[in-house]
A and B are shown apart, each in its own frame.
Chain A
Amino acid sequence: MTVGPLIGYAVTLAVLAVAAAAFDAALAARPAAWGSAATAPLREVARLLTQQRRRTVLPDLVLLRAGVWSLPAAAVLAGVVLPLGERPVAESAVGVVWFNAMEVCVWGAVWLTGWAPNSVFPLVGGYRFVAQGLAYELPHMFALITAALGAGSLSVTEVAAAQREVWFVVWMPVAFVIYLVSALAMAFWGPFGQPVGGEVAGGVRVELAGPDRLVFQAGRYALLVVASAAAVPLFLGGGAGPLLPSWAWTLVKTVAVLGVLVWAGRRVPAVRMDRFTQASWLVLIPAALLQMLVVGLVVI
């Protein structure tokens, strides 16, 4: 493996994460302040880098570091199987399962970050995320498997290649919508932002300050970027498109999905965990299974 794709991947991920943060700041600001929103993420980075760490009484520092750092690590590792253009950083025959396994590590990361400071509100946030995870994970898995079933392969590259004629979003729209919903829940973004919700004073990240908070926030944005990027090879035809080279199309589609997710995060009201669990198990899972049945019949 050469270093080139690795650097390209890291730079792309960082730029998209900063862009997502800037867009989110712009959505929150009035039109007059859009100019300063563009630089808001960078100013926030500078602020957090110089801020002091907050100390709580008897924190579990080992678990805190493990939790905070495994959030961006999970996002970065999940993204390595996604092709930017023709090839991913690391080609894997079981890329879809790998992606799924890495994003499940987010459960551990968020719960540990909530547990370790020995403080009430982070703990509430951490438990909220576990409950949310139990709600979104099964529909999410079924959506991923549906795309893999349509292509007859677990490799993300193969799934993208199988959409030369018709994009999967056309004949598995239900799976695509479920994927987007679960992507929001996975990055605890917008309507599913309860683990870091305002009514528990910021949930999981209350006690995080300085570099810790920076790493956690960066991990969350990276997760959002990777979740949007995965929608492209899985449902939106990968790099397929006229005129432009495939890497450009992948980028354009990723930015589009990312924009929709960030926008939805600011415009959709928060959903309570128990209601979401109920809706997820009673509506999303049956819908995903029906979608998979349809795809299975078509494939045969």
Chain B
Amino acid sequence: MGLEAFLLLAAALFAVGVYGVLSQQSIVMLMMGLELMINGVIVAGGAFWYHLAPGTADGQVLVLVAVTVMALEMAAGFAVVTALYRARQVDTTDEAGDLKG
């Protein structure tokens, strides 16, 4: 399994995530799509570290940042959904278009 195999996996995970983000109405389901996209980034980061530059730890740091971003994204997303739901009993993207004229 070379670098290409890992990147194919990363591309597949990212693409499934993109589908989820674009197609899901519920904000929580949309966030699962975001998690999958970041999952793809994590795979790519680990693969780049191992196959291109294992001498330095930069690739590992990238993975660490991606994992943290994933947790923060989820926390912030749920806080926003909770606030939104409390204000307007809304949890889908279609009904949350606040800035639409």
Touch test A–B (CB under 8 Å): no
